[in-house]
Amino acid sequence: MTTVLVTLAVVAAVVAAAVGYVSWRDRRRSTPDEDRGAERDAESRRHRYEAQRHASQGEVHRRDDLKM
């Protein structure tokens, strides 16, 4: 019985160490504010491009309707 308890304690310690290491590593890998700003800027550019493309497609359809 003692062997089982010691084995479970060792396994629990190894799992706790692994979880602690992974969470510590992920905290170090977090992106700084500059990256978040660049990400927001890229997202806004993408939305603006999509809106312009959508508007230009609408103009093409309107011009085609006027020709008929």
Which of helix, strand or coil describes residue 2?
helix
Look up tokens 């978040």; give the residue: 36
| pLDDT per residue as tens digits for the range 2-29 | 999 999 999 999 999 999 999 888 776 6
- Label residue 33 by pLDDT band (50, 70, 90): low
pLDDT at 55: 83
Residue 26 identity (one-letter amino acid): D
Q: Where are the beta strands (DSSP E) in 1-68?
A: none
Q: pTM for the whole thing?
A: 0.42
Q: Which of 34, 62, 37, 7 is nearest to 45 (CA)?
A: 37
Separation of alpha carbons 34 and 41, rounded Å: 10
**Tokens (6 digits) for 10:** 């060792």
| pLDDT per residue as tens digits for the range 40-68 | 899 999 999 999 888 887 766 666 666 65
